[in-house]
Amino acid sequence: MKIFLNGYMGSGKSLIGKKLSESMDYPLVDMDDQIELMEGRSIHEIFQKKGELYFRKLENQVLKDILAKNDNMIVSLGGGTPCYGNNFELLKADENNKTVYLKASVEELTSRLFLEKVHRPVISHLDTKEQLEEFIRKHLFERAFYYNQSNIIVDVDGATPTAIVEKIKSKLD
């Protein structure tokens, strides 16, 4: 079984991916790490030098490579991965794939992301919490259609990583 964690940036995909991987003894694949390895540069540099369209094409190729493997694994998707091209259809094509939406509120995401926006190329230009909140609200509205099609939806606001992992595992059975 492949378990794909999706949700907006800052929802905890990387952290929960690590914890779930340890708990289930499945290897963890982080999409952003795979793209950086393939390109030999950071996501930030890819966005700066090649643009978002180039990045989305890479992302689609890495997703296809992951889906072609027959191994059990936990995959932390990029925040936009399920929302571009045919990515969500690819994820849903195999019944052994499980998609998990780590659902966080706009307020929670704003709080988390404002502290680390300098490391996030998509939001680094936003100066105030109000601008960031508006940006997140707009993106969540656009992406909710995809996120909400996930097999499992877990509300992460105020929950510990351990509790989130246990919720996911209980819904996989």
What does the alpha-carbon distance between residue 90 and residue 25 come to, in Å, rounded to a whole number? 25
Query: Exposed e or buried b for every residue in 31-59, given b needs 16+ CB within 10 A?
Result: bbebbbeebeeebeebbeeeeeeebbebb
Residue 120 labelled as part of a binding site: yes
What does the alpha-carbon distance between residue 23 and residue 46 come to, in Å, rounded to a whole number? 33
Q: Nearest CA to 32 among 54, 11, 63, 8?
A: 63
Residue 126 labelled as part of a binding site: no
What does the alpha-carbon distance between residue 88 and residue 63 come to, in Å, rounded to a whole number? 10
Residue 137 labelled as part of a binding site: no
CB 147 within 8 A of CB 88: no
Residue 13 labelled as part of a binding site: yes
Residue 112 labelled as part of a binding site: no
Residue 51 labelled as part of a binding site: no
What does the alpha-carbon distance between residue 82 and residue 145 come to, in Å, rounded to a whole number? 10
Residue 40 labelled as part of a binding site: no
Residue 132 labelled as part of a binding site: no
Residue 12 labelled as part of a binding site: yes
Residue 10 labelled as part of a binding site: yes
Residue 23 labelled as part of a binding site: no
Give binding residues for ATP as ranges: 10-15, 120
Binding residue positions: 10-15, 32, 56, 79, 120, 143
Binding residues for Mg(2+) are 14
Binding residues for substrate: 32, 56, 79, 143
